[in-house]
Structures are given as C-alpha cells and as structure tokens.
Amino acid sequence: MSKKIAVCSADSTPSSPVEGRFGRCKCFMLWDPETKQYEPLANTGPEAEHGAGTGAVQALIRNNVGMVISQRVGPKAYAALEVAGIKVFAGAGGKTVEEARQSYEAGELHELLTPNA
C-alpha cells in the first residue's frame, strides 16, 4: 500500500488554499496515489491550547501518511514527524491543494530538513 500525501489546507477541497501552519491548519487533504482521490481529514489543532502539531502527527500516522506539504513546522511537530518517518516539503505558498500536489510531483518543492517555525 502506497503512503498518502497530506497537504495542509484552509478548507476541505482540492481547490482550497494551502494553509501555512502545520499544527493549526483547518484540515489535511489526503491524496491517495493508488485511487488518485483526495479525502479531507479534520485537524483538531486549531482548538488545542498546546500540542497541536504533535497531535496532528498522530492523526497522520493513523491515516498512512508518508509526506506532508506545509509552509511552517515547529520543532516539536518536526521531531514527531521525523520519528514517524514522515517527510515534510515546503514551497507551496499561494497555491491550492491540487497545485501544491502537482508541484511536489514535478519536483518543484523543497524538503524541510529542520523545523522552520
């Protein structure tokens, strides 16, 4: 089974804008490379007082995610993503979820090797 791609999103459609903050995005749009379909995954992070990023990582692990497209990832969330083996790519600011995924597949996004928020 192929790992899914999670895109941090401001809403629950492929035409939604990419959300900048990993742990505080409204939802993750999960792209399944096998079915070529998106499914929204609500993120509880916007309401969390603390631990938004690490809680989001747990949800991604449960949903078989192998990589995330996000603009900013804090140190605790980045460490949790790293332990889980989930790669993080950035460079999709100003794009829709679908455009961000296409940019990733075209090799236009860069991998984050350290936290940046």
Q: Which domains does the chain have, with CATH numbers?
A: 4-105 (3.30.420.130)
Looking at residue 98, its pLDDT comes to: 98
Report pLDDT for 48: 54
Measuring CA to CA, how many Å separate 33 from each of 40, 65, 71, 108?
Answer: 15, 11, 22, 18
Spatial separation of the C-alpha atoms in residues 93 and 7, rounded to whole Å: 12
Which residue did the predictor score with more confidence, 49 or 85? Answer: 85
Query: Distance (Å, rounded) from C-alpha 62 to C-alpha 22?
Result: 17
* pLDDT (0 to 100) of residue 63: 96
pLDDT at 49: 60
Identity of residue 91: G
Rg, the chain, Cα only: 12
Q: Output the pLDDT for position 52.
A: 65
